[in-house]
């Protein structure tokens, strides 16, 4: 499957948490790539907002440094970068007090073009921001609100957050984002499975021995100390990114590529996952935490040293999962993810069953 660049209508993109880690490492570099690939139409604007006091020029300098740090040098085009930075402006606003939202409204103006509010902030602020947008009449029929994970800590808190945002935005305006699904290789899974007459007939328990899904990172906490210790590897990676990958590997063919049709097939997989009770947990799961050692040719601190206090939060987790349906009965799915591992890798391994008998002998490999 070849990616296709489709220019989009002009829009306003407002980043709450515009000076934060997610904006720096992911959003601004990704938006720059959209500029470089000529996907923006004029007059598309990007407005950063957070509590920090900052001028437009300072925010543009912040974005320039972020792109320098997180985009390959060969991908940086000086002309496109200059055009991209000219799109950027900044408004200081406080989601809890509402200070600055009048300035944000003035900066956005009265245009009826699409405006996307991207919440790159802690989930505790989702409701406050949503309500302030409504109070200041910033929500139009062409508005979108984008929620980054984690959407709550558990089922109860997730429902409360969805209700808070749902009080202000229609469900069709709410986008819950898992950025792993934007990776080209992940998107190609659909084509590999459902546009391939060779593999799809073999994609079942009769031919597949097991599936391994690995997301390994070499980095430690970096700038995510406060968030990560409350989440851990299980909440940070498994319940969103890795389960999405599992669903793409295991789901039945949707009736179409419509979002609801794909979602319905994913839900069938999640509902078919066998529960792991307390007695089975030691046999089917592993939790760990990295300690002091060496990485990238130099010494590194352990998790608790980086955190500055004792903690039982896991930085590594491995799970043996099973799907109780006709296609996958008896096929284990091994999920593993962690920080400070030897190699940075994201991969899905489909291990097919061996042939009944090899005529080539053991030395043939």
At 296, is the secondary structure helix, strand, or coil?
coil
Question: Catalytic amino acids?
Answer: 241
Query: How far apart, in whole angstroms, are the C-alpha atoms of residue 319 and residue 210?
Result: 13
Neighbours of 352 (CB within 10 A): 10
> What is the Cα–Cα distance from 66 to 74, expressed in whole angstroms?
15
How big is the CA angle at 166 (ends 160 and 170), to the nearest 5 degrees?
A: 160
| Cβ–Cβ < 8 Å for 276, 328 | no
Tally helices (H) and strands (E) across the chain. Answer: 13, 13
Whole-angstrom distance, CA of residue 116 vs CA of residue 15:
8
- What's the token pair of residue 195? 């546009």
Handedness of CA 231, 234, 239, 242 (dihedral sign): positive
Q: For residues 309 and 311, what is the distance between their CA atoms, to the nearest angstrom? A: 6
Residues in the chain: 365
- Whether residue 73 contacts residue 40, with contact meaning beta carbons closer than 8 Å, is answered with no
């Amino acid at each position: 499957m070849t990616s296709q660049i489709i220019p989009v209508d002009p829009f306003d993109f407002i980043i709450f948490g515009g000076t934060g880690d997610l904006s720096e490492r992911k959003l601004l570099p990704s938006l720059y790539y959209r500029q470089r690939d000529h996907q923006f139409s004029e007059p598309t604007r990007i407005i950063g907002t957070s509590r920090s006091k900052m001028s437009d020029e300072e925010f543009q300098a912040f974005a320039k440094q972020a792109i320098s740090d997180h985009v390959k040098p060969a991908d940086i085009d000086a002309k496109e970068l200059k055009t991209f930075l000219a799109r950027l402006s900044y408004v200081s606003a406080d989601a809890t007090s509402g200070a600055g939202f009048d300035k944000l409204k003035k900066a956005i103006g009265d245009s009826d073009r699409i405006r996307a509010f991207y919440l790159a902030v802690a989930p505790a602020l989702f409701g406050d921001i949503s309500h302030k947008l409504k109070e200041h009449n910033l929500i139009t029929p062409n508005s979108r609100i984008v929620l980054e994970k984690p959407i709550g800590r558990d089922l109860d808190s997730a429902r409360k957050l969805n209700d808070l945002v749902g009080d202000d935005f229609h469900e069709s305006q709410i986008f819950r984002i898992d950025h792993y699904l934007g990776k080209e290789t992940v998107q190609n899974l659909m084509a590999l499975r459902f546009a391939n007459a060779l593999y799809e007939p073999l994609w079942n328990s009769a031919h597949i021995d097991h599936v391994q899904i690995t997301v390994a990172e070499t980095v430690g906490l970096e700038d995510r100390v406060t968030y990560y210790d409350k989440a851990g590897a299980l909440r940070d990676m498994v319940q969103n990114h890795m389960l999405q990958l599992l669903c793409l590997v295991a789901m039945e063919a949707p009736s179409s590529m419509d979002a609801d049709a794909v979602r319905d097939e994913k839900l069938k997989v999640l509902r078919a996952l066998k529960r792991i009770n307390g007695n089975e947990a030691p046999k089917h799961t592993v939790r760990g935490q990295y300690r002091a050692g060496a990485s990238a040719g130099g010494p590194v601190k352990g998790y608790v040293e980086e955190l500055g206090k004792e903690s039982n939060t896991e930085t590594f987790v491995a799970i043996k999962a099973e799907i109780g349906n006709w296609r996958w009965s008896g096929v284990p799915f091994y999920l593993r993810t962690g920080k400070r591992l030897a190699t940075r890798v994201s991969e899905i391994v489909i291990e097919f069953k061996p042939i009944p008998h090899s005529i080539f002998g053991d030395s043939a490999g």
